[in-house]
Amino acid sequence: MRIQVVDNQIEAALKQLKKQMLKDGLFQEMKKRQHYEKPSVKRKRKSAQARKKRLRALKRTRQYESE
């Protein structure tokens, strides 16, 4: 990741850096790595995320079918 600072505009460069880090998911990755997560907890979290994602997709398809 590379951010160019133009005319010593550090605030704008920081804003751009934060935006890029959010887009890449680095803040979430840092948050996850703050504490150790047991493999069983990791599996449960991943399955819950998959279930949530599947339900959202199902709601979207039902919404489009009803229109």
Same-domain status, 31 and 49: no
Q: Which domain holds residue 20?
A: 1-35
Same-domain status, 67 and 52: yes
Same-domain status, 5 and 25: yes
Q: Tokens 């990741």 — which residue?
A: 1
**What was the pLDDT predicted at 16?**
94
Same-domain status, 11 and 25: yes
**What was the pLDDT predicted at 64?**
80
Q: What is the mean pLDDT of each run of 10 residues along the chain (67 residues)?
A: 88 94 92 92 95 94 81
> Residue 21 and residue 1: Cα distance in Å, rounded?
9
Instruction: Tell me how many domains the chain contains.
Output: 2
**CA-to-CA separations, 31 to 47, 55, 60, 66, in angstroms, rounded:** 19, 25, 29, 39
Same-domain status, 47 and 57: yes
Same-domain status, 25 and 11: yes
